[in-house]
Each structure stands twice: as C-alpha cells, then as structure tokens.
C-alpha cells in the first residue's frame, strides 16, 4: 500500500514537473525563436543585446504569439502540434491541433478574441483561429483576393489589424521594386496594402511585433536589421541589429507600450501637429496686434 502511494506520488511529481514552466514578464523585450532548433533568445532594443534561454526545445518551432492572459507563448511544433513556450526556453507539447491542416506554418499571433491565428505557408487565403485551451480550430477566416506570402504577422491592439511584410512582387498585379507592408482585417476577411517599406524584396521578416502604443516592428533575418514601420505609409526605419542567417520567429507582449513609451506620431499626425502649431502662432500674433491697437 505504501509502495503504491509512493509510486503514485512520484508519477504526479513527474507530470507536474513536465508542465512546469516559467512565464514571460510582460516587459519591452522582443523575443525570437530559431525555428529549426527551437532556441529562444531575448532581444533588448535599448542596449542592442541578446540573452539566450538556458533550455533548447531541439525541435522545429514557428508561428508563435504571446498570450497576455497567462504570459506564455504558443505556436506550432513540428508543423502539426500546438506548443507552449516558457521564458526559460522549455516547451510543452499540447498535442495535435484539431481541425488544423498542418504543414509548414510561419505566421501566427493572438488577436482580440484570444485565439491564436495561424496562416499555413501553403496559402495565405485562409487563417485558422485556434483555441489554445481546447487545442482546436475554433474558426476559419477566408481572406478575399489574398495572393501574397508573409513570413510572420503581428496583431496591433490599437487598430485591431494584423501586419506583415510581403515578399511577392505582383501582389497588386504589377512589379513592385520594394517589399510592402500589408494589414489584414480578419473580421472583414480583407487585406490592405499600406505601402512600400522602402526595402528591397530580398528581406525576410520572419519576426513581426506590435506594442500597446500601436507601433509595428519587424526583424529582417537577411540584413539582420530591426525596423519600426509607419502604419500609414508602410515606410520602414532601422532601429538596431538582430540575429541573421537562421530562420527566426518572433513575439512580443502587446499589453506593453514598448521601449519608446508613448507612440511615435505618424507622418500625417506630424502634419496635424505642425498645423496646430502654426495656427497657434498666428492666433497669438492676431491677439497681440489687437492689444497693440486698442
């Protein structure tokens, strides 16, 4: 009897330990995963430094998103299964995703509804919204006219859109000399071409991020440059340098306002700010002139 109890307790301890993981801190760190071997690194933009997690999954991982509810990252393991990733680099295999077709999947992130939205590489016209608690597809979304490919997506909590950078030249039917920033509205089942990033089509943005201020970032593994995008024009501005070479995926806690705090004004917002300043100066001069002539 005692021996059976000890055996049962031992098995319970093993089970608990197998699912014991360290959650991520919801801070301004950018996380990247080497997709071939599942190695997690933390990128600090301010210091332009990296920290490698002590554990290595050793298996292909991709399409990860940060779940704010529990501060873990979820994505695809070996093209078919759902995986939960902890800040220490440990991975828990949650099993095959019911209703998911499987196959190579590079793009994924959590949306407003708390579902992990996955886009298989075989076709961008269908998005699978996965409930990570039930490990099953809860909804499928068709994107009308989608004829492009992106290596990752990031959900912007400010406007409710997913962003990615396309590598396909004929997304609008004509040759485009630069990669394009694209926004996807899964509620409407549509996409919008925001504009040219100003970067060549050789870029591969396998890591996309968005913060609570509405900024959208991306890491290009070809040039190893880290960029922030203007979500009104698509223009990319280099901020730092990250890892290159190996395929990578990325995720960020979208509840954090990011390393810059308050949002950076867009070009049109700068125009409004400038106009308000000019009107303020003109108004001040008019009032001063009236006082002088009174």
- Confidence at residue 166, expressed as pLDDT on a 0 to 100 scale: 87
Distance CA 286, CA 294 (A): 12
pLDDT at position 285: 60
Domain 21-263, what fold? Neuraminidase (2.120.10)
pTM of the model: 0.81
Q: Which two tokens stand for residue 51?
A: 């920290």
Q: Per-residue confidence of the chain (294 residues) as pLDDT tens digits? A: 444 443 333 333 333 334 589 999 999 999 999 888 889 999 998 888 889 999 988 888 999 999 999 999 999 999 999 999 999 999 999 999 999 999 999 999 999 999 999 999 886 789 999 999 999 999 999 998 877 788 999 999 999 999 999 866 445 455 556 799 999 999 999 999 999 999 988 899 999 999 999 999 999 988 889 999 999 999 999 999 887 667 889 999 999 998 886 444 544 544 555 555 566 565 556 566 655 565
Is the Cα dihedral 210, 216, 220, 226 positive or negative? negative
**What is the C-alpha to C-alpha distance for residues 91 and 200, in angstroms, rounded to an integer?**
35
Q: How far apart are CA 84 and CA 38, in angstroms?
A: 12
Q: What is the pLDDT of residue 275?
A: 58
């Amino acid at each position: 009897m005692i021996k059976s109890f000890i055996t049962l307790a031992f098995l319970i301890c093993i089970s608990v330990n197998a699912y014991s993981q360290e959650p991520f801190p919801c801070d301004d760190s950018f996380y990247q995963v080497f997709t071939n071997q599942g190695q997690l690194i933390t990128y600090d933009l301010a210091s332009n430094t990296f920290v490698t997690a002590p554990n290595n999954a050793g298996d292909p991982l991709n399409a990860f998103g940060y779940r704010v509810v529990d501060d873990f990252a979820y994505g695809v393991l070996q093209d078919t299964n759902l995986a939960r990733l902890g800040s220490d680099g440990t991975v828990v295999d949650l099993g095959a995703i019911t209703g998911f077709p499987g196959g190579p999947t590079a793009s994924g992130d959590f949306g407003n509804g708390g579902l992990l939205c996955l886009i298989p590489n075989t076709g961008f016209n269908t998005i699978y919204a996965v409930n990570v608690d039930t490990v099953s597809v809860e909804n499928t979304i068709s994107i009308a006219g989608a004829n492009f490919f992106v290596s990752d997506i990031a959900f912007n909590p400010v406007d409710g859109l997913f962003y990615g950078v396309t590598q396909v030249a004929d997304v609008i039917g004509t040759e485009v000399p630069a990669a394009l920033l694209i926004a996807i509205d899964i509620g409407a089942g549509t996409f919008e071409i925001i504009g040219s990033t100003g970067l060549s089509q050789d870029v591969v943005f396998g890591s996309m991020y968005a913060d609570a201020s509405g900024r959208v970032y991306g890491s290009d593994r070809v040039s190893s440059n880290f960029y922030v995008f203007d979500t009104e024009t698509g223009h990319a501005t280099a901020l730092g340098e990250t890892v290159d070479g190996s395929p990578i995926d990325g995720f960020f806690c979208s509840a954090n306002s990011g390393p810059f705090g308050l949002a950076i004004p867009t070009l049109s917002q700068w125009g409004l700010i400038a106009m308000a300043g000019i009107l303020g100066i003109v108004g001040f001069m008019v009032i001063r002139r009236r006082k002088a002539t009174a």
